[in-house]
Chain A
Amino acid sequence: MRFLRRAPAGDDLALRLLGVLAETSDYRARLDAALDVVKAITGRPDAYLYVAEPGGERFHLEHTRARAAADPTRAAPGPMQTAMEGGAEWSVPTPPFEISRLPEDANPRVVTSPVGQLYSLPIAGGDGELIGLLRAGPVAEDAVPRAVAERHAQIATPMAVVIGQARREEELRQRLASATAQVDASRRLAGSAVDVERLVALLLELALAGTRTEAGFVAVRSATGRLEVRAAAGMPPGFADTVDLTPETGLFDWSAAEGGALFLRDVEAAERMGIRSLLAVPLMEEGDALGVFALVTFAEGAAFDEHDLTLLEAFTEQIRLMLYNAQLFGSFSERYLTTVEGLAHALDARRPETAGHHRTVSAVAEAIAREAGLDDAAVEAVRIGGLLHDVGLAGTAEGSWESDVEHPTVGASLVAHLPLDPGVAGSVATHHEWFDGWGFPAGLKGEDIPAAGRALAVAEFLVELSTPDEFRPGWPPDRLAAELAQRSGSQFDPAVADAAARLLRQDALRLPAAAAPTKER
């Protein structure tokens, strides 16, 4: 018991514990320091931290602060002998990695484990919920001595604060690392769309949690140069739609000409919103202003500290990098799409009768999709799909059977990896599928064919038959309508065929004018 008399007083230890959070942000170092305090209050050489799993039914061993395995004093209480080929080896027993929660864990007690008898001391959160267990040993007693229990009671609250905070911050770091990995992965796979909105919202959420700030928002410069709120949390209702972020007159004064300096211009507007404090930092990339990241507090006394600024800087860097990558990828995609469209256009130009075919199909398909009630995103997908739908012919041997069958798949593969609505590649891939399953290349049926593909199929049919070729005149609208009715339900989705028929009757489709064949038979 001599050791206990020399141990620091509880208050000193409590202060030392809380100081750990300020001294280091390294998770393991914080847990080391916390377990050193456990060793000090128990006078035992080995300490273990168990933390509760979600649900609280089990604990897992999170951290160990024990004598080195080679320490001869650690052999007690009864090392295991392990048979090894060519000799024998002494191995050191280890505490269990996982344990079930028992009702008696709520109080200090002595437990038996593979590393001998240990004190088991509870760590309770603010709500009294058990968030973990501290274990220390080896001990000879069968009960926790009163002096140890008293010292534990003195440090119980700061210990819960330190362990709880260290774990929250570590979880945040891990979530950030995972988000960063997602961004990196998206960038590396020059193929998949970078889901900027989702990641910006996630980073904002993490930044708010990390800085314990109530509210914030991320505004990003759009293609037109306007700042638009892309993610907001905890801001007044309607904030994203009503806030004026125009650089010349809005909430912020922000000029790339002044090195990207960013500050609040309209203090009165911030006051009207009930904002107490607002910290906004510019997201700059090589002198180019990409956006603004702002943290906001409404409550009195809630202020940003050094730690918040460090986190804010880290998150700002993440968002900046992500926006920059998305911008690079976006402009790459735009150029690539223009190239693919150019290829489709060049295919059309090979024959006089098909000149402008892709553009005509695109316009007709867009009108039919809208008439059939597709939403705006699907209508846009049909429009772009129409501009490209036969581009796969450029990648297959002209006039061959393979060319006919494979061109939808080849065409779709050319655009499938761009950050476009999946309806674009989907419509290209399925514009030769039949509603009854008798089309190609996949033989899809009914609703399995994307709506954009069903609309594009009708459009291409109408454009092809209304275009005169070498031996056949272009068909007039009434004949097209009759043919549509005939094929409704077999080749075409009846709803799309009906929509197209309505437009034909209104003469609202810009089809090639009916004309004689381009050559006499």
Chain B
Amino acid sequence: MDHEISERAGVKIVHVHGPIDVSRALELRELLGAQIDSASARVLLDVSDVPLIDSSGIGILVTAHRRATGQGARFGVSGATGTVARVFEMTRTNKLLSLFGTVDEGVAELAG
């Protein structure tokens, strides 16, 4: 899966490109799993370059969120707009995940 990882204020920012569907969901699970590796992990997934996410992609995000919460780490998603934001709403997962408008907002919240 095409992505870059950077770090700011102790928050790992995973910036992914392209649609997240069944064919890429497992890769995303591995990618996020490797980042959420300890209680101190602060991980922000930036989806501003993701044109579409389906139910499998959302499943991976919720799993990552639960895994992080379970071990005392933190996980958030930033940059969901258009189609991606609507999918979160339609599947009612927008209230389940920590969603942020921008990377800056996500970093500020997760680092704090």
Contact = CB atoms under 8 A, between A and B. Distances in A.
A482 B19 CA distance: 78
Nearest to B58: A263
B43 to A, nearest CB: 19
Contacts of B51: 303
Interface stretch (B9-17, B71-79, B83-91, B102-110): B83-91
10 contacts: A261-B93, A263-B61, A264-B55, A267-B22, A268-B26, A270-B22, A278-B55, A304-B52, A306-B83, A312-B90
A37 B26 CA distance: 48
Contact of A264 (B58, B83, B87, B95): B58
Given A253-B59, A263-B59, A305 B29 contact: no
Contacts of B86: 306, 309
Contacts of A277: 19, 21-23, 52, 54, 56
A252 interface: yes
Contact of B55 (A258, A284, A294, A313): A294
Nearest to A273: B22
A132 B62 CA distance: 51
A150 to B, nearest CB: 38
Contacts of A262: 55, 91-93
Contacts of B56: 263-264, 267, 270, 277-278
A415 B52 CA distance: 51
Nearest to A316: B90
A282 interface: yes
B82 interface: yes
Nearest to B83: A306
A402 interface: no
Contact of B92 (A260, A270, A300): A260
A276 B55 CA distance: 11
A275 interface: yes
A261 B91 contact: yes
B47 interface: no
B60 A261 contact: no
Nearest to A295: B54
Contacts of A305: 52, 83
B68 interface: no
Main SS class of interface, A? mixed
Interface of A: 252-253, 258-265, 267-268, 270-271, 275-282, 284, 294, 300, 303-306, 309, 312-313, 316
B36 interface: no
A260 B91 CA distance: 8
A81 to B, nearest CB: 59
A305 B51 CA distance: 9
5 closest A-B pairs by beta carbon, nearest first, are: A277-B21, A264-B59, A263-B59, A263-B58, A264-B55
Nearest to A279: B54
A259 B92 contact: yes
A329 B38 CA distance: 52
B95 A280 contact: no
Given A265-B59, A276-B22, A294-B55, A281 B91 contact: yes
Contact of A271 (B22, B91, B92): B22
A279 B87 contact: yes
B96 interface: yes
A306 B82 CA distance: 8
B80 interface: no
B25 interface: yes
A271 B54 CA distance: 13
A261 B90 contact: no
Nearest to B21: A277
A263 B93 contact: yes
Nearest to A312: B90
A263 B62 contact: yes
A18 B52 CA distance: 23
Interface in B13-67: 19, 21-23, 25-26, 29, 51-52, 54-56, 58-62
B60 A258 contact: no
